[in-house]
Amino acid sequence: MIHSILVVCRGNICRSPVAAAMLQRQLPRCRVSSAGLAALTDRGVEPSARALAEAEGLDVSRHAARQLEAQHLMEADLVLVMSEEQRREITERWPQAMGKVMRLGHWLAQGQGCDIPDPYRRSVETFRQTHQLLGDAAREWIRRL
């Protein structure tokens, strides 16, 4: 049974905090947190990502980006990353986490899975597309947990 989920992206200010909030809302008995492989430490959610999240009723106001550490991986039952590259990076640095690291987009693209692109410093439309993918991916995970 999954009691703790860690969502990881690069900077921990766009994708992972929003995806974590989406999962937490639907999985209230589960502890959901986020971190970044190259976190912009202590920064809040990027304004475009925050606006999209808040428009859905998600509260990301208290988020402060944090750097991924081995302890975070050890405490999580499931680690969801945004890309295959991030999955490889984590499992190379922390091989003990290999069995619990999967892409957030694992169930998308007719079951083929897909990466969730980084919208950082891109257009508002790119943020909208990424937000939609995050929501779709979160719903698919929630169905299966």
* pLDDT tens per residue across span 30-60: 999 999 999 999 999 999 999 999 999 999 9
The answer to whether the CB of 108 falls within 8 A of the CB of 137 is yes
Name the residue range of residue 126's domain.
4-144
pLDDT value of position 1 = 84
pTM for the structure as a whole: 0.97
CB count, 10 Å around CB of 106? 18
CA distance linking residue 25 with residue 143, whole number of Å? 13
Local confidence band at 130 (pLDDT 50, 70, 90 cut-offs): very high
The answer to whether the CB of 10 falls within 8 A of the CB of 118 is yes
Torsion of CA 50, 56, 58, 62, to 10 degrees: 20
Overall domain count for the chain: 1
* pLDDT tens per residue across span 72-117: 999 999 999 999 999 999 999 999 999 999 999 999 999 899 999 9
Residue positions annotated with a catalytic role:
9, 15, 118
Distances (CA, A) of 142 to 44, 78, 136, 138: 25, 12, 10, 6
Identify the CATH number of the domain in which residue 122 sits: 3.40.50.2300
Q: What is the DSSP letter of 50?
A: H
